[in-house]
Amino acid sequence: MSSKITISVIKADVGGYVGHSSIHNDIIQTAKEKLNNAIEQDILIDFHVTRCGDDLELIMTHKYGTDAQNIHKLAWNTFVACTEVAKDLKLYGAGQDLLSDAFTGTVKGMGPGVAEMEFEERKSEPIIIFMADKTSPGAWNLPLYKIFADPFNTAGLVIDTAMHEGFIFEVLDVYKRRKITFSCPEELYNLLMFIGALRRFMIKSVYRKDGVIAATASTQKLSLIAGKYVGKDDPVLIVRCQSGLPAIGEVLEPFAFPHTVEGWMRGSHRGPLMPVAFYEANPSRFDGPPRVIAAGFQLCNGKLIGPRDLFDDPAFDEARRKANEIANYYRQHGSFEPHRLGLEDLEYTTMDKLMKNLESRFIPE
Q: Give contact residues for ligand F6R (rule: CB under 6 A).
A: 19-20, 93, 134, 232, 263, 265-267, 287
Work out which of 6, 13, 82, 111 binds Mg ion, going by CB under 5 A.
13
Between CA 160 and CA 113 the distance in angstroms is 34
**Partner that binds at residue 65, options ligand F6R, Mg ion, none, CB closer than 5 to 8 Å by kind:** none
**Partner that binds at residue 266, options ligand F6R, Mg ion, none, CB closer than 5 to 8 Å by kind:** ligand F6R
57 lies in the site for Mg ion, by CB under 5 A: no
Work out which of 11, 20, 320, 339 binds Mg ion, going by CB under 5 A.
20
Catalytic residue among 67, 108, 179, 229: 229
Closest distance of CB 266 from ligand F6R, Å: 4
Active-site residue, 313 included: no
54 lies in the site for Mg ion, by CB under 5 A: yes
Active-site residue, 173 included: no
Between CA 168 and CA 171 the distance in angstroms is 10
Beta-carbon contacts of 228 under 8 Å, excluding residues fewer than 6 positions away, are none
Interface with Mg ion by CB under 5 A: which range of 13-21, 156-164, 204-212, 293-301? 13-21
Catalytic residue among 11, 13, 34, 150: 13
3-state DSSP call for residue 172? strand
170 lies in the site for Mg ion, by CB under 5 A: no
Residue 65 or 93 having the CB closest to ligand F6R? 93
Residue 113 or 254 having the CB closest to Mg ion? 113
24 lies in the site for Mg ion, by CB under 5 A: no
Asked whether 257 and 325 are in contact (CB, 8 A), the reply is: no
Residue 93 or 109 having the CB closest to Mg ion? 93
Helices H / strands E in the chain, number of each? 9, 15
Closest distance of CB 23 from Mg ion, Å: 9
262 lies in the site for Mg ion, by CB under 5 A: no
Residue 48 or 232 having the CB closest to ligand F6R? 232
Active-site residue, 232 included: yes
Asked whether 184 and 148 are in contact (CB, 8 A), the reply is: yes
Between CA 264 and CA 326 the distance in angstroms is 13
Using CA atoms, how far residue 95 sits from 83, 264, 271, in Å, is 5, 20, 26
Closest distance of CB 114 from Mg ion, Å: 15
Interface with Mg ion by CB under 5 A: which range of 20-28, 145-153, 270-278, 313-321? 20-28
Using CA atoms, how far residue 44 sits from 48, 69, 71, 140, in Å, is 11, 13, 8, 28
Between CA 239 and CA 297 the distance in angstroms is 11
Work out which of 133, 233, 250, 287 binds Mg ion, going by CB under 5 A.
133
Between CA 112 and CA 221 the distance in angstroms is 10
**CA 8 remoteness from chain centre:** 13
Work out which of 6, 9, 10, 16 binds Mg ion, going by CB under 5 A.
16
Between CA 341 and CA 337 the distance in angstroms is 6
CB atoms within 10 A of CB 361: 6
Closest distance of CB 180 from ligand F6R, Å: 29
55 lies in the site for Mg ion, by CB under 5 A: yes
Asked whether 77 and 58 are in contact (CB, 8 A), the reply is: no
Catalytic residue among 34, 204, 221, 232: 232
Between CA 55 and CA 61 the distance in angstroms is 19
Q: Which amino acid is at 134?
A: K
Closest distance of CB 309 from ligand F6R, Å: 23
**Partner that binds at residue 149, options ligand F6R, Mg ion, none, CB closer than 5 to 8 Å by kind:** none
3-state DSSP call for residue 231? coil
Positive or negative torsion for Cα 256, 257, 260, 264: positive
Looking at residues 84 to 123 of the shown chain, list those that interact with Mg ion (rule: CB under 5 A).
93
Residue 235 or 246 having the CB closest to ligand F6R? 235
Active site positions, annotated: 13, 229, 232
